[in-house]
Amino acid sequence: MKKLKVWLTDEDTHKDSNCVLLTFIGHGNDKGWLMDRDEKAAWFLEALVSELSSVETLVGKPKMLVMQSCRGCEYETRTQSDSESELR
């Protein structure tokens, strides 16, 4: 995640861009952190927005962030079906 953060906030990355679209599908926590694959807090969501907004070559350009990550600490319950007919 560190390499991504450096690349995403580097002004040279976006010098020829008209906008930025970032899609993140992963894990988060109830404190607003996006988590890396080792389940360590990697990027505070509000800081991500702030850091992208302050990249000089992105000022005045659209920034679209699509995030899908949990933000709570409760687990959803799941049920398992024994037969395929129950799935229809």
7-23 confidence digits (pLDDT tens): 888 889 989 999 999 88
Q: Where do the DSSP E strands lie in 1-88? A: 20-26, 33-35, 41-44, 63-69
pLDDT at 88 over 60: no
Extract the tokens encoding 56: 């000089």
pLDDT score, position 63: 92
pLDDT score, position 40: 75
The reported pTM is 0.64
User: For residue 31, what are the contacts with CB-CB under 8 A and spacing of at least 6?
Assistant: 41
Tens of pLDDT, residues 31-63: 888 887 777 777 888 888 898 889 999 999 999
> Parallel, antiparallel, or unpaired for β 41-44 and 33-35?
antiparallel
Residues 87, 81: Cα–Cα separation, whole Å: 7
